[in-house]
Amino acid sequence: MSIKKGNVIEVDIDSAAFKGKGIGKVDGRVVFVPNTAPGDRVKTRIIKRKKSYLEGKLLEVLEPGPNRIVPQCRHAQACGGCSWQHVNYETQLAFKQEQVQDHMQRIGDLRDLKVSPTLGCENIFHYRNKMEYSVGHKRWLSSEEINKDEFVSDRCFAAGLHAPGRFDKILNIQECYLQDPVSYQILDFVRSYCTEHDIAPFNRIDHEGFMRNVMIRMGHHTGDLMVNLVTYKDEPKIIGALSEALLNTFPNITTIVNNVNDRRNPTAVGRYEKTIYGPGYISDKIGPYHFKIRANTFFQTNTAQAEQLYEVVKKFADIQPGETVYDLYCGVGTLTLYLSKRTNKVIGIELEKEAVQNAIQNAQENNVNNAHFIEGDMQEVFNEGVTNKFGSPDCLITDPPRAGMHPDVVKRLKMLKVPRLVYISCNTSTMARDLQELSEVYDILELQPVDMFPQTYHIEAVANLRLR
C-alpha cells in the first residue's frame, strides 16, 4: 500500500536508532518512532514522509516489548530531556554500545574495531550537577488538553524544558529526575513567585518580558547550591526581592547570581553578571582536585561519572614519570590537572579566553606547578612553535567539541606521530570520521563508551591509539 502523511498504521519496533528513536519497517520502508523500544508493537501516525524513510508519532503501545518499563517521571514521553526513560538501564547501555559500533563501521569504515561494553553509571537518576530551565509565555499542551471540546489556553508563565523541536513552547514541568529534587522545587517556587508578583516571562517572538532562564548548579562533593536567574533586563529591586524570598524558603542556597542577557540571542549566558548573594560560585572536586565553578563555567555535568571517564583516559594514556603530555581542547583544565601528577609537564590548549584564565587559576589553587596553558584556535596555535617551546609530546589527549577536530589538526597529528594518543568524544559520528583519518598511522587498540547521561541517547567514548 502507499503510506501517506497522516495515515495511522501498526508497526513492530525491531531496533533503536541514533537519538533514541525506535526503528520498524512497513512494506520494506523504514519507520522511525520516538518513545518506543525494540520488541514493542505500536500504533503510530505518520507525520513525515521522505523518499527513503517515514517518521511516526506514537499513539499507543499495543504490545510492550521485553525492554520497556514504566518511566518514573510523568513528563517522560513529552519531554526532550529523557528520551529513553521508558527503557531498562541494561538495554540503554547495550543500545549505546551498538550506536558507537554503528558509527565506527558506517561512518568511519572501521570494520574490525570492536567496541567495548558501555561503562555504566552508578546513579541513573539525579546525577546532573547543572540544570538550565527555560522560561516562556507559552506552555506545551498535552494530547488530552488538545483533544478537549472546550478551549484550553497555552498562555501562562511557563518554566521547564523546551518541548522537543519547539523553541517557542515550554513543557511546564512539575518534577524532574535528572537533578536533585531541590532543583525543580526551586524552579516551581520561582514560577509561583513570578506569577503572584506579575513578573512577566520573556517572549522570544516579541522580545518583551523579564525572566528568561533559571539555572541550578550543585556541588556533588560539597553540597554547594547556586541559583542563576537569567533576565532580559537589569531590575535590582525585582531580583533582590525574589532572592530574599528564595533564601527564606531554601536556606541551603549558597549563592545567587543574576545574568542579564538583554540581547535577542537565546543563550542563558548574560552580557554581564551580578552576584546577588554569596561568593558568586560553587566549589566541587574531581579526584583530589578542587574547582571553583561560576555560573557560565564549563564543568563536567555528571561529576561522579566524570571521575570514571578520567580514569579510563588515565589508563589508556599510560603516562610514565617524566613524560610530556598535551591536552587539546582542555577547557578549564579539569583533565589536565587530573593527569598532571606523573608528568614532567602537561600543556593544555583551549580557544576560550575565560576558560584558560580559569584553568590557570585552578592550577594555582591546587598547587600544580607543571601545568601550562595556551589560549588560541587549535589549528593556529598547535604548531611547531609550541612543540619547540615545550617539547614533543610523549602522549596526547584530545577532547574536541561535537564538530570534531579541524582537518588541519588531524593532519598535524598524523605528521607529529605522537607515540600514544587518547581521543575523547561526545559525538561518535565525528569521532568516527577523525579516527578513520588517524587510522592511517595509528592502531586503535580499544574504544570504550562511557555513559555520562543515563535516560538519554547521549554517549561519550574514549579511543586508545598507538602509533603503528
- State the catalytic residues: 426
| CA 30 to each of CA 11, 51, 151, 208: distance values in angstroms, whole numbers, following the listed order | 10, 10, 37, 43
Give Cβ neighbours of residue 124 (< 8 Å, ≥ 6 apart).
89, 454, 455
Pairing of strands 460-467, 420-425: antiparallel
